[in-house]
Amino acid sequence: MMESPRWVTSSYSNNGGACVEVATNLAASRGVVPVRDSKMTDGPVLDVSAAAFTSFVAGVKGVS
């Protein structure tokens, strides 16, 4: 059985409507982190490689 995405929004989100949701629970099993617009949950999903997502998060945090 395929694991379903467990969507979460960042705890830093202020619910202003300009948020994305991610499903990091699929990083280990599928090697991807799905990303979607929180306002359009039935809309398109962008699958980002787990490595690219990790690099993105590190960049946002200012970690090199």
Contact (CB, 8 A) for 58 and 42: no
Residue 28 lies in a domain: yes
Per-residue pLDDT, 48: 97
Residue 26 lies in a domain: yes
pLDDT grade, residue 11 (50/70/90)? confident
For residue 31, the enclosing domain spans: 19-48
Q: Note if the pTM is more than 0.75.
A: yes
Question: Of residues 21 and 11, which shows the higher confidence score?
Answer: 21
For the beta carbon of residue 34, count every other beta carbon within 10 angstroms: 19
- Give pLDDT tens digits for 18-60: 788 999 999 999 999 999 998 899 999 999 999 999 999 999 8
- Domains held by the chain: number: 1
What 3 state SS string does the chain have? Answer: CCCCCCCEECCCCCCCCCCEEECHHHHHHHCEEEEEECCCCCCCCEEEEHHHHHHHHHHHHCCC
Residue 54 lies in a domain: no
